[in-house]
Every structure is written in structure tokens, then in C-alpha cells.
Amino acid sequence: MSCAGSAAGLKPPGALSYKMVEDELALLDKNINEFWNKFKSNVNDTSCQMVALRDTYKDINKAFAEKLSVKLKEEERMVQMYLEYQNQICRQNKLIQEKKDTLLKLLAEVDGKKQNLEVLTANIKDLKEEYARKTETISTAKKSSEERLQRLQKSVDMFKDRLGLEIRKIYGDKLQFIFTNIDPKHPDSPFMFCLHLNEARDYEVSDCAPHLECLAEFQENMRNPR
């Protein structure tokens, strides 16, 4: 009886090993599922993080591109402004150079006119001095002529009073000298001769009445007075 009961309470060895294998497989399957779930969760988190980083990168890249575009436009505008300013400076420098050239030309003309003025002033001074000399010469000559004329007039008056002299201007630019009171017996009888300048600008006596033998000598004395 004891042997039979003992045999009834024992399980066969094969059944125990199978149960253990099932438990191990179930545990392994559980562990695999947990690992897979964790792996998927990690992968999903990593993927989300990468997507988030990608989106952040896109946003940053877009913002940077926009800032860069704005910066490039600003720099392009600054370059255009610089070129415009440079062109304006070139134009201003050109105008300044033209005005400088014009000023130098005007200064040269002024210097030339100044030199001409100095020359004219010197010429005017010389002319004034020459005019003063000529005026003095003319004044002296006039004074001498007046004195000579006075002497001649006295001589004429004397000849008129004593010899009845009368001077007439006749044809051919001749001067006719008529004397009376020459012949005491006939005081009214006229004696005359004509005087003129020939082509050689020498005195020449003609038309003497009555004729005088000393006419040639008289004419020579008229040309070369002593």
C-alpha cells in the first residue's frame, strides 16, 4: 500500500522538464516583448528628437538665410551707395579741377594784363616826359619866335616908316616887297622884288624892278645869313 501511494504522488520526469521549458520560453518571450517595446519607444523618441532637430535646423537655416539675404541686400545697397558717392566725388573732383584750371588761366591773364599795364604805364610815363620836353621845346621855340617876330615887326615898322615898305602875297605863293622913299627926288616911285621858296626849299628872288646887279649876292645872303 505504501508503495502504491508513493508511486501515485510522484510526477514523471518528462512532464517537469516541459513545464520548465514553457516557463522559460514565456519569460524569454516577455523579456523580448519588453525589450522590443523599449526599443521601439527609444527609436520613436530618437526619431522624434531627430525630426525636432531637423525642423529646428530648418527653422534656424531659414532664419539665417533670411538674415543673410537681408545682410546681402544691405551690403549691396551700401556698395551701390559707395559707388554713387565715388562717382559724385569724381564729378566734384572734375569740377574742382576745371575751376582750378579756369582760375589758373584767369590768374595768368591777370598777370599778363598786369605786365601789359606796367608796360603801358612805363610807356605813358615816357610819353609824358617826352610831351613835357616837347612842350618845353615848343614853349621855348614859341617864346623865341615871338621875340623874333617882335624884332621883325620892329624892323617892318621901321622899314614902313623910313622906306615905305609894303608886303603883299601874290600868285605862286610869292611875297612881293614894295619900297618907296628910296629915291629922294621921287619919293613915291616904287621899287619891288618877289621872294618865294623853290623846290630845294631855298629862298629865291625874282621880278626885281628896277633890276639890280647885286641881286645874286642879295639872294645868297638871304639863303645863308651871316
Specify the pLDDT at position 114: 85
Mean pLDDT of 104-112: 86
Domains of the chain, by residue range, sit at 83-155, 164-223
Distance, in Å, from the CA atom of 204 to the CA atom of 174, rounded to the nearest integer, reads 10
Q: Give the model's confidence band at 2: pLDDT under 50 very low, under 70 low, under 90 confident, else very high.
A: very low
pLDDT tens, position by position, 120-166: 888 898 988 888 888 888 888 888 878 888 887 888 788 888 888 88
Distance, in Å, from the CA atom of 215 to the CA atom of 220, rounded to the nearest integer, reads 9
Fold entry, domain 164-223: Copper Amine Oxidase; Chain A, domain 1 (3.30.457)
pLDDT tens, position by position, 56-74: 767 777 777 787 788 888 8
DSSP string, 132-190: HHHHHHHHHHHHHHHHHHHHHHHHHHHHHHHH--EEEEETTTEEEEEE-S-SSSSTT--
pLDDT tens, position by position, 26-40: 777 777 777 777 776
- Three cell numbers, residue 92: 566734384
